[in-house]
Amino acid sequence: MSVENKVVVITGASSGIGEATAKLLAKNGAKVVLGARRENRLQEISQDIKDAGGQATYRVTDVTNPDDLKALVTLAKKEYGAIDVIYNNAGIMPTSPISALKTDEWNMMIDVNLKGVLNGVAAVMPDFTTQKHGQIITTSSVAGIKSFIGSGVYGATKFAVRNLMEVIRMESAKEQTNIRTATIYPAAINTELLQHITDENSKEGMDKLYKSVGITPDAIDAIARVVNFAIDQPEDVNVNEFTVYPTKQG
């Protein structure tokens, strides 16, 4: 099944992996619907896609608000007549030791990284169940399959996403709704995530790691190609997990 003409909703689309994915999918003929909080960036990216001959629309979206996700899906159906894929890519990473008790940041990570994904799932599930096809793709993290000091709560949200996506896949197979899932586990990739870290020691350690082994901005396109690959498979094929490390990272 080709990416061409698929209607794809992308959250966290205003920079980094989301932006790169939107541009690649649009280049390959998908109709992309962009959601994020920064309207100026959404405008710019949408216009870039249109200038390159692609199809794109956008809506300012806060993934912690269920109504925003529903409105984004409604926009996709209004503009393009359908919804085929949602890519839950929005996330934050204010890592810190548990003992630092940055409880406000814990709650923000739960709201964005876990509840934000659940809100995306809830927004598309009625359509996907009725039409008996659809695809849910989510950015987890290598911290969702391995434990790291300083990433207890961040990792907990990403472990939860891993379980959620696998259960959706299993339940869909049982219910015969043909919903495909794909979970992506990026390791050290140089995006805006590091800007969320307020704990000085954690920030110093993460900056050192990412400077040493982090994937270059050009390689962010590699994640976009993974998403493209997952969507591009035949409808009866579900490639559901992808771990992406920098070659230098142990």
Cβ atoms < 10 Å from Cβ of 170: 11
Give the separation between CA 106 and CA 138, rounded to whole angstroms: 20
Q: In sequence order, which residues have a C-beta less than 8 Å from that of residue 15 and are 6 or more positions away?
A: 36, 38, 41, 191, 192
One-letter amino acid of 63: V
Q: Is 184 helix (H, G, I), strand (E, B) or coil?
A: strand
Q: Is 80 one of the annotated active-site residues of the chain?
A: no
- Catalytic residue, chosen from 87, 154, 185, 210, is 154
> DSSP per residue over 89-147, as a string?
---------GGG--HHHHHHHIIIIIIHHHHHHHHHHHHHHHHT-EEEEEE--GGGTS-
Residue 62 phi/psi, 5-degree rounding, is: -105, 110
Tokens describing residue 187: 């390791």
Give the separation between CA 138 and CA 147, rounded to whole angstroms: 19
The residues carrying an active-site annotation are: 154
